[in-house]
Amino acid sequence: MQLEQFNYDNKIVRNFGLATIIWGIVGMSVGLLVALQLVWPDMNFGIQYTTFGRVRPVHTNAVIFAFVGNAIFMGVYYSLQRVLKARMFSDILSKLHFWGWQLIIIASAITLPMGFTSSHEYAEMEWPIDVAITLIWVVFGINMFGTIIKRRERHMYVAVWFYIATFVTVAVLHIVNSIQLPVTFWKSYYVYSGVQDALVQWWYGHNAVAFFLTTPFLGMMYYFLPKMANRPVYSYKLSILHFWSLIFIYIWAGPHHLLYTSLPSWVQSLGVVFSIMLIAPSWGGMINGLLTLRGAWDKVRTEPTLKFMVVALTAYGMATFEGPMLSLKQVNAIAHFTDWIVAHVHVGALGWNGFMTFAILYWLVPRIYKTELYSKKLANAHFWIGTLGILFYAIPMYWAAVVQGLMWKEFTPEGVLKYPNFLATTLEILPMHMMRAVGGALYLSGALLMTFNLVKTMAKGKLMANEPAEAPALEPVTKNERETHRRLERKPMLFMVLALLAILIGGIVEMVPTFTIQSNIPTIASVKPYTALELQGRDLYIKEGCVNCHTQTVRPFRSETSRYGEYSKSGEYVYDRPFLWGSKRTGPDLHRVGGKYPNKWHFDHLLDPTITSPGSIMPTYPWLIDQKLDNSIIKEKMNAMRVLGVPYSHKDIENAHADIAKQAEAIAKDLAANQVKVGSDREIIAIIAYLQRLGTDIKAEPAAAAASNVDSQN
């Protein structure tokens, strides 16, 4: 049989590898800064661009899309060529993909601190960047499927299945979650509102974790782990069951992020059921990986790459057990909005994604540079420092979560909240947050040690940019092949369509009724659109990233209605674009804050939170007093909202500037009467107007009635 000669493209692998290392250090450093700000708020240095609210999405997106994203492309470009026995389809597309992705990362790193944000978690970038992501993702898809089509290996190895599922699902998630109506180049509003927007966001948010942070890493696990251990994958049949059950079930689980909210209860229940079912396929993948190491445990003791892999798979198993547990309503009632969510996410990010990325880098770099790793001792040191970093990070966060959950819900024998002041809980967990920062510093130190080790490795070797390879031409189809899945592996386009159908079913079943059946979101006649000034204040609230610390949804628990007021109704959010329910309470819920405090309280709180709340870790916002409110596009904003169904009349829009001036002047006069002199044209006036509106559209139940609304967990 004649062999065909060709070359593997290692240069693109090297480029994505370098980007992984660089952006990893950047993302982890910003994460450490964020952790320090939750203990010492002055760590924002008094600059509006470095507050927690603005920097936190920089950290999350840098880790997810810059560090992990580049690691995915590094692993895919290396493994795809070798399992398909073909060079990537197009060198030009490879370069366009690489540089396009880096420009997207840089654009995000610039615009997010400036406050250009859509506020959707893990998708905060504004619409021009969303468009760029779509285009570059298509470039990646063409390059990947072009390579699959020109392959020299008839059957697609299991890793390729996960890469295909990743491509099609991320494309669907990103497009559906990014449907916005642009107002200007850096401002848009989502077409969805309130409850519907929440469902779309967490359908995306949960499955971004599933299909960006999980499925491509499972594909890489199936390639790199057998290579590192020099052992075959434990079970081909288990990999089939693992793959199809995982991609079908995962897509349904998003609503478990919205338990006890005003999302329709039937959708919440579906999310819970499928979340529990997820344990089986998730652990199937972990077991398949760990059992691949059978007979190779002596090698695990000596090879740092395998040490990283074992901990990565263990972290994956823990995170995928913890997720379903957090979806149980009894657990969710206590754990949600606490630091448990932070710990859960970071076990996956630091352990699963981070450690597998480190393992692949340590294994791959010496091979493409045709040399030995500079120092196994340094790699082993990195392993132990990184492992300690994970423990010092996660354990204090679990501890803090238990403290938070119990303190928030504790009542005295007389039936009143024992800790009515939210700040009491914040101050109680500060030592745990300090330990979390230590863990982050350790983890970052390990990454820096790895960087030194790999740079020295590259220096003593030489990149083989075009690695010679040979393989026979694509073999003919075997007519008598018995296994159905083997036949399917010969047809990549059919495989892609079936994977697409598997992931579409759950989203369609959950979203179509929520969007089309009116009874799912009952109308409340008293709920009115925001005034022009309140809309401006809401956009400033989003710009400052306040949603990263404050939720806006009161759950139907005795503890929450006693602390915050009447529980939230779905009809209250019909004009909220985007929804602002949040996912973590670093500060108290704000959905019923309107009218609770005078205007001067809000002014003082934004100027210096310690004036109203001694010991607060909230940053100061003096620039809101100094900066004039930009009303230049308010009419365009209201027109966009009108297109999306908000009942602004033409008169409302034409009189927007006059209405803003009138409402702002009233707030400024009230402040002046309380010895606070501030111009009515300042940003702080708009934010105060918005905060004073929150939760005032419906009448709260009498205190006795609210207190009687007790859930079984209290």
Using alpha carbons, select from 186, 191, 51 the residue that is nearest to residue 579.
191
The pLDDT score that the predictor gives to residue 707 is 39
Question: Does 522 reside within a domain?
Answer: no
Question: Does 696 reside within a domain?
Answer: no
**Interatomic CA distance for residues 651 and 1, integer angstroms:** 80
Using alpha carbons, select from 217, 139, 133 the residue that is nearest to residue 178.
133
Beta-bridged to residue 184, according to DSSP, are: 187
Using alpha carbons, select from 97, 232, 216, 76 the residue that is nearest to residue 148.
76
174 assigned binding-site residue:
no
346 assigned binding-site residue:
yes
**Interatomic CA distance for residues 123 and 136, integer angstroms:** 16
What is the pLDDT confidence band of residue 704, given thresholds at 50, 70 and 90?
A: very low
Are the C-beta atoms of residues 457 and 374 closer than 8 Å to each other? yes
* pLDDT for residue 46 is more than 70: yes
**Kindly report the CA angle at 131 between 129 and 134, in degrees rounded to 5?**
110
257 assigned binding-site residue:
yes
Task: Determine which helix (DSSP H) or strand (DSSP E) holds 34, and give its type and residue range.
Answer: helix 11-37
Q: What is the DSSP string of 228-268?
A: HHT---S-HHHHHHHHHHHHHHHTT-GGGGGTTSSS-HHHH
The pLDDT score that the predictor gives to residue 488 is 87
CB half-sphere exposure, 590, CA atoms < 13 A: 24
Reported as a single tens digit per residue, the pLDDT across 507-546 is 999 999 988 887 788 889 999 999 999 999 999 999 999 9
The pLDDT score that the predictor gives to residue 556 is 96
The pLDDT score that the predictor gives to residue 96 is 98
CB half-sphere exposure, 119, CA atoms < 13 A: 29
The pLDDT score that the predictor gives to residue 475 is 73
Q: What is the pTM of this model?
A: 0.94
- Mean pLDDT over residues 145-164, rounded? 94
Question: Does 126 reside within a domain?
Answer: yes
Q: Would you call 479 exposed, middle or buried from its count of C-beta atoms within 10 A (0-12, 13-18, 19+)?
A: exposed
The pLDDT score that the predictor gives to residue 705 is 39
SS3 of residue 327 by DSSP? coil
Are the C-beta atoms of residues 278 and 214 closer than 8 Å to each other? no
- CA dihedral 219→224→230→232, nearest 10 degrees, is 0
The two structure tokens encoding residue 472: 């026979």
Reported as a single tens digit per residue, the pLDDT across 619-664 is 999 999 999 999 999 999 999 999 999 999 999 999 999 999 999 9
Are the C-beta atoms of residues 173 and 204 closer than 8 Å to each other? yes
Instruction: Check which CATH number belongs to the domain holding 287 and give it.
Output: 1.20.210.10
Average pLDDT, the chain: 94
Instruction: Check which CATH number belongs to the domain holding 541 and give it.
Output: 1.10.760.10
What is the pLDDT confidence band of residue 480, given thresholds at 50, 70 and 90?
A: low
Q: Specify whether 103 is located in the same domain as 175.
A: yes
Reported as a single tens digit per residue, the pLDDT across 456-465 is 999 999 999 9
For residue 157, the enclosing domain spans 10-371+379-472+483-508
Question: Does 210 reside within a domain?
Answer: yes
Reported as a single tens digit per residue, the pLDDT across 548-588 is 999 999 999 999 999 999 999 999 999 999 999 999 999 99
Q: What is the DSSP string of 149-197?
A: HT-S-SSPPHHHHHHHHHHHHHHHHHHHHT-EEEEETTEEEESS-HHHH
* pLDDT for residue 482 is more than 80: no
Q: Specify whether 464 is located in the same domain as 556.
A: no
The two structure tokens encoding residue 445: 């130190």
The pLDDT score that the predictor gives to residue 479 is 59
Q: Specify whether 626 is located in the same domain as 575.
A: yes
Q: Specify whether 433 is located in the same domain as 535.
A: no
What is the pLDDT confidence band of residue 710, given thresholds at 50, 70 and 90?
A: very low
Are the C-beta atoms of residues 342 and 584 closer than 8 Å to each other? yes
Q: Specify whether 495 is located in the same domain as 571.
A: no
Q: Specify whether 161 is located in the same domain as 301.
A: yes
Question: Does 702 reside within a domain?
Answer: no
**Interatomic CA distance for residues 390 and 352, integer angstroms:** 11
Question: Does 703 reside within a domain?
Answer: no
Considering its fold, how many domains does the chain have in total? Answer: 2
Q: Specify whether 570 is located in the same domain as 502.
A: no
Reported as a single tens digit per residue, the pLDDT across 199-213 is 999 999 999 989 999
Beta-carbon contacts of 480 under 8 Å, excluding residues fewer than 6 positions away, are: none
* pLDDT for residue 712 is more than 70: no
- Mean pLDDT over residues 492-510, rounded? 94
Q: Specify whether 573 is located in the same domain as 462.
A: no
Q: What is the DSSP string of 639-693?
A: HHHHHTT----HHHHHTHHHHHHHHHHHHHHHHHHTT----TTBHHHHHHHHHHH
Whole-angstrom CA distances from 398 to 256, 335, 432, 442 are 19, 9, 9, 18
The pLDDT score that the predictor gives to residue 703 is 41
The pLDDT score that the predictor gives to residue 1 is 67
SS3 of residue 3 by DSSP? strand
* pLDDT for residue 709 is more than 60: no
Question: Does 520 reside within a domain?
Answer: no
344 assigned binding-site residue:
yes
The pLDDT score that the predictor gives to residue 339 is 97
What is the pLDDT confidence band of residue 84, given thresholds at 50, 70 and 90?
A: very high
Whole-angstrom CA distances from 291 to 157, 233, 235 are 18, 8, 9
Q: Specify whether 183 is located in the same domain as 275.
A: yes
**Interatomic CA distance for residues 664 and 679, integer angstroms:** 9
* pLDDT for residue 708 is more than 50: no
Question: Does 710 reside within a domain?
Answer: no
- Mean pLDDT over residues 661-689, rounded? 97
Q: Would you call 677 exposed, middle or buried from its count of C-beta atoms within 10 A (0-12, 13-18, 19+)?
A: exposed
- Mean pLDDT over residues 690-703, rounded? 80
34: left (phi over 0), alpha (psi -120 to 50) or beta: alpha
- Mean pLDDT over residues 140-150, rounded? 97
Q: Specify whether 543 is located in the same domain as 574.
A: yes
The pLDDT score that the predictor gives to residue 711 is 39
* pLDDT for residue 289 is more than 80: yes
59 assigned binding-site residue:
yes
SS3 of residue 99 by DSSP? helix
602 assigned binding-site residue:
no
Beta-carbon contacts of 350 under 8 Å, excluding residues fewer than 6 positions away, are: 315, 386, 389, 390, 393, 394, 443
SS3 of residue 455 by DSSP? helix
Per DSSP, 470 falls in state E
Give first-to-last CA distance, the chain, whole Å.
73
pLDDT higher for 487 or 599?
Answer: 599
How crowded is residue 669: how many other Cβ atoms within 10 Å of its Cβ?
A: 11
Q: Specify whether 503 is located in the same domain as 545.
A: no
Q: Specify whether 437 is located in the same domain as 467.
A: yes
Reported as a single tens digit per residue, the pLDDT across 344-402 is 999 999 999 999 999 999 999 999 999 999 999 999 999 999 999 999 999 999 999 99
The pLDDT score that the predictor gives to residue 297 is 84
